[in-house]
Structure 1
């Protein structure tokens, strides 16, 4: 009975997040027209931020209230991995060719910035665990904020400015479809959908703790697999609908905008956590970060070199992403094969 209750709750939360993701796609298109912003920017910033709220709420909940910081790190890194894997799903449903080869240069910028963010987080993790450099923290009274988190905050701001300036250099033309839509009404609808995402995110933090308790799984794996997939469902549905509507820039921009925000989540959690958060993580998260970097490079290579046709029902790059994602999940669950090859 306990198993039925856990998975029933899991599926209900997933359904709520799917509903919110579908609504966000339409709202994103309206915002793009009314605010005269490109789909790539709307996806990377506004929708990417909104669809990443489950990761934010889950991460704060698991790190602070459940005192499970490794689930937090596993959640955000696993979400980044799954977000890139979503490209494979989009490639299957996109019939006009490989979906990555249909987007413009503005999407490439968000991909590069997400790569920079994950490299910064990986570097901070390395320095904290290797103890080669003792990164100090600032006492905020209620918490200790590491200087590494301050760097992540600053880089996130730089990313948002870069994306905005890149979007302003583009001319946005086209038919006006939503000129009669009130921005105030749209804002209320957006807040309602965001409220659903936040409430469901809080609920999922409790479900994750129950899954960990019943099935006795490793915290990092629970975060990287179960939480990452469910909290990324808004991205799945938003991007699915966006591609079906022909908004490929919005779809891919959302994925990598979400990846940028996910890395900033760690710094936000550091504010609320009592101690320096990076010092609580273990070395198993290196695996996920390395795979995120590899998968992002595969995506960048495809965005830069658009030659070639779709192989079978998906592109060659999507095949590579799928294989690497499965390998990443297996390695996070059981890294013994790495120890046999490279040693402990």
Structure 2
């Protein structure tokens, strides 16, 4: 889809900027960070969530339209080949660094990381704490295709809309429980899947509603209007409000709608000024690299460390070099494998064995 890589580029830049703040020699301190726009690193993760819900649902619905069904085996294998190699390569390097004494991670940390449950871990280490969002994504990949397969169109849409409405209530309930009832309640529950699924569900609802929305003149006018750019400062204002009750209960749904509209506008108007910027080659490349950048940014962008590798600007350069190595050595070879599969080429025997049966000669997108 046009512009999605550019949107990913914006999201990863927000994440990296947020984690750069407070590192040695970076001009913005921890105290100054968030003064104007709030926690933009967290906002970047939320943008990733909405994009993911939109893209995955669109692909699954395209498959259903083309073949009459959804193959869970194919979906899970595609996700596994896309995500696992780079992820477990990162975890392996962290394990080696722990053995060498370069980082301090426990067996408990690795247990949560290896099982994609970091989002439930209280007091997680900074070096792998950022994996909480990837854990949320994996839990989404596990559950949503099952829901689509079981519920189909309208009922699946109702589930997505219900999730958009319930997510803020869950976050508010957890926040109130932590701060008012039981301060010892695990803070990690604020990043649990039930507390985060409304952002993913927003993308899902957009993908499910989109065929109908694109027949509505008011929607075409809204998403094609130059005034839609005002949604950006509105999102930043809501983000600036942080965990305020109004921001959680009212701001979150408004933010979700704004992000969905901006994604729609960006993907459908690729020839406009915004679309050209999102599809600019450097932005597309940065978006392509966003998964590896996200994996590798946290160990180097550590504001609590005085190590040379965690000081600006070399920390940012090292993040980029590590992401390039991850992309060229791990991600790109496995992406080529996925593309061969989509074209109907045979997969290596080890992957066929994971599927449990030989690959057919053709496959849905």
TM-score range, shorter chain: 0.3 to 0.5
Q: Of the two, which has the highest radius of gyration?
A: 2
Which structure carries more relative contact order (alpha carbon 8 Å, separation 6+)?
1
**TM-score w.r.t. length of structure 1:** 0.34
